[in-house]
Amino acid sequence: MRRRHVPLACAAVLSSAAGCVSVDVGHEGGAQLQLALRDAAERASPPRAAPLVDALVLQAQPGNAMADTLSIAYAQRADEYAFYQLATWMERPVRLVPRLLQQRLQARGVATAVGLAGDPMRADWMLAIGIETIHHDIRTAPGFARLALTADLFDRRSRVRVAHRQFEASVQTLRQDSTSAAQAMSVALARTFDELVPWLEVALVPSAKHGAP
């Protein structure tokens, strides 16, 4: 794994970064890669027999700075982060993750309609999603993809938070490079969704008992 220097401006993105040493992505001959974070679920959950609520809105909430950048972070030491030089995300995780979760919830049929904040729809329930960490931990080669989400369910009628939980996943990477990191991140994201969806369904059950379909 070779190191190259990148502009010092990237240090401003992560206040905890100890310099901006970057890592080559492998044998791409210097080409810049754009990598996709996706929901790499091994198998789809069967749809529910009936939705729990009429409508649910997903909203991104502030989280870790690594989630609000196209740069892909790695850590060689605890609490010290840098960025891959020759690879970026195609979309900022803070914007992409709620949309991927929307697709998962729609396929499961948790609600009749699942929207994103800003969509022209009325919903009594809101799920706020925050990304607490998303990085490639290479303290021990080839490393682990680390991803953690927080989820807060709100009853918008009473403006009360009715449930809160953090979901974490660590997936070993095949190699110590950005492509392997992105692939493992996608698996880690799917595993957090695998835990989040049934948790959300349990949290919404009381509403179903009060007349929701």
Token pair in block for residue 104:
């998962």
**What's the CA gap between 71 and 134, in Å, rounded?**
11
Q: Which of 12-26, 71-85, 197-211 has the lowest mean pLDDT?
A: 12-26
Tell me: pLDDT of 14 over 90.
Answer: no
Q: Torsions phi, psi of 56, nearest 5?
A: -140, 135
Q: Please say whether the beta carbons of 57 and 116 come within 8 A.
A: yes
How do residues 108-150 score in pLDDT, each as one tens digit?
999 999 999 999 999 999 999 999 999 999 999 999 999 999 9
Local confidence band at 209 (pLDDT 50, 70, 90 cut-offs)? low
Local confidence band at 44 (pLDDT 50, 70, 90 cut-offs)? confident
Tell me: pLDDT of 9 over 70.
Answer: no
Tell me: pLDDT of 152 over 80.
Answer: yes
Tell me: pLDDT of 77 over 80.
Answer: yes
Kindly state the average pLDDT of the residues 75-89. Answer: 94
**What's the CA gap between 148 and 166, in Å, rounded?**
7
Q: What is the pLDDT of residue 63?
A: 83
Kindly state the average pLDDT of the residues 164-184. Answer: 97
pTM equals: 0.84
**What's the CA gap between 176 and 87, in Å, rounded?**
13
Kindly state the average pLDDT of the residues 155-179. Answer: 95
Fold classified for 48-65+90-208: Rossmann fold (3.40.50)
- The per-residue pLDDT of the chain, averaged, comes to 86
Q: What angle do CA 123, 127, 128 make, to 5 degrees?
A: 130
What's the CA dihedral at 17, 21, 27, 30 to 10 degrees? 110
What are the residue ranges spanned by the domains of the chain?
48-65+90-208
What are the residues whose beta carbons fall under 8 Å from the beta carbon of 164, sequence distance 6 or more? Answer: 150, 151, 152, 153
Kindly state the average pLDDT of the residues 7-19. Answer: 36
Cα distances (angstroms) measured from residue 197 to each of 48, 109, 111, 127:
12, 11, 12, 11
